């Protein structure tokens, strides 16, 4: 008997994407279709998603398990990282200090379970102005360039020179679902363009900024790779705080600089139109506590808050949806 998340059919795929993104989906079991609902198997007793958690007999998945740790001795399995990022054919692991001595065994187990992976890297942390990961190849080809597939789009990049987070896939899909056709959107920290392209696919005009010239190079390739007409985007190699927008205003602003977003909020509030939205990303305590209201100008209110994904044992990435009301 295991826990399942019961959702209506219309929300089944959205629930699946959320559970996979968060690491809540128990892939040792198959989903159960019942009446007008789908029951997704869980690896924990509760999840923050609309639906009902029910306990029932699981439908075993007889296919080979994707949990690479099952290929390890129990001593190593207990300290090997449960989750990891995948960018195309590159796997990125954060190894606890007590597991580094076993990194080759961990890499071999991962390659055995995921035949599409060609390179395995240790993530030594994000550093510098451009938030670039310090990567070290553990096993496989010494190659940091790959193509990541997400929600029907493709993003190519050299992840040793630019920042990209596969864990934002569900959030990018959520945000693009909120956008209306012909909106004027600003992506203030665009990177290689995943948010910008998700929005431009909705026939919106997107202005994208990033101070990393390498990010701009890959972003322009990705706009073309995804068939975005040039009339829907402009990309500038500039810091958000330095760029002169003149009289330009935006219906929606994406502020995805979660480790240091607050200093840019005032400028964003000055650039958004009435009834416009700012999507503000920040690392917060697990309970989402953050004194955002203290920093909002008159006429602005936070209408929604959502945990995007875990960041550390004590913190998570949250998005705050801020609306400018009519004054």
Q: Is the pLDDT of residue 264 over 90?
A: yes
Question: What digits encode the pLDDT tens for the residues 69-88?
Answer: 888 888 888 888 888 999 99
What pLDDT score was predicted for residue 269? 97
Among residues 266, 214, 259, which one has the least CA distance to residue 240? 266
Where along the chain do its domains lie?
2-60, 68-143, 167-324
Using DSSP bridges, classify how beta strands 250-255 and 272-285 pair: parallel, antiparallel or unpaired.
parallel
What pLDDT score was predicted for residue 282? 96
Question: What digits encode the pLDDT tens for the residues 235-250?
Answer: 999 999 999 999 999 9
Share above pLDDT 90 across residues of the chain, in percent, rounded to a whole number: 64
Pick the CATH number of 167-324 from 3.40.50.261, 3.30.70.1280, 3.40.50.11540, 3.40.50.150: 3.40.50.150
CA distance linking residue 126 with residue 96, whole number of Å: 16
Q: Is the pLDDT of residue 64 over 70?
A: no
Among residues 293, 291, 287, which one has the least CA distance to residue 318? 287
Cβ proximity of 204 and 232 under 8 Å: yes
Establish whether domains 2-60 and 68-143 are of one fold. Answer: no
What is the sign of the dihedral through the CA atoms of 40, 41, 42 and 46?
positive
CA distance linking residue 37 with residue 10, whole number of Å: 8
As a whole number, mean pLDDT of residues 263-279 equals 97
Residue with tokens 């309970």: 287
**Cα-Cα end-to-end distance for the chain:** 55
* In this structure, CATH architecture of domain 2-60: 2-Layer Sandwich (3.30)
What pLDDT score was predicted for residue 63? 61
As a whole number, mean pLDDT of residues 250-256 equals 98
Q: Which of 64-68, 98-102, 120-124, 268-272 has the lowest mean pLDDT?
A: 64-68
What's the CATH code, domain 68-143?
Answer: 3.30.300.110
pLDDT band (50, 70, 90) for residue 119: very high
């Amino acid at each position: 008997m295991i826990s399942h998340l019961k959702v209506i059919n219309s929300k089944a795929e959205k629930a699946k994407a959320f559970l996979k993104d968060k690491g809540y989906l128990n892939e040792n079991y198959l989903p159960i279709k019942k009446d007008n609902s789908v029951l997704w198997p869980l690896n924990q007793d509760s999840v923050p998603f609309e639906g009902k958690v029910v306990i029932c007999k699981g439908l075993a998945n007889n296919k080979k398990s994707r949990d690479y740790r099952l290929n390890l001795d129990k001593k190593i399995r207990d300290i090997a990282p449960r989750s990891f990022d995948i960018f195309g054919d590159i796997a990125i692991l954060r190894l606890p200090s007590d597991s580094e001595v076993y990194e080759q065994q961990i890499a071999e187990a991962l390659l055995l379970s995921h035949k599409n992976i060609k390179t395995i890297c240790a993530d030594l942390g994000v550093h510098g102005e451009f938030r670039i990961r310090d990567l070290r190849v553990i096993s496989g080809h010494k190659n940091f360039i790959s193509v990541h597939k997400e929600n029907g789009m493709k993003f190519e990049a050299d992840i040793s020179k630019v920042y990209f987070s596969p864990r934002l896939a569900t959030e990018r899909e959520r945000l693009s679902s909120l956008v209306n056709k012909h909106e004027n959107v600003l992506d203030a920290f665009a990177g290689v363009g995943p948010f910008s392209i998700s929005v431009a696919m909705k026939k919106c005009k997107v202005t994208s900024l990033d101070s990393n010239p390498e990010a701009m190079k890959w972003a322009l390739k990705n706009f073309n790779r995804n068939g975005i007409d040039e009339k829907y985007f402009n990309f500038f190699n500039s810091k958000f705080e330095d760029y002169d927008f003149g009289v330009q205003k935006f219906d929606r602003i994406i502020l995805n600089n979660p480790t240091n977003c607050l200093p840019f909020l005032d400028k964003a509030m000055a650039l958004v139109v009435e009834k416009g939205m700012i999507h503000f990303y920040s690392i917060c305590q697990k309970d989402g506590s953050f004194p955002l209201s203290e920093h909002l100008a008159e006429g602005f209110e936070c209408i929604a808050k959502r945990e995007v994904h875990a960041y550390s044992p004590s913190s998570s990435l949250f998005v705050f949806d801020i609306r400018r009301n009519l004054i």
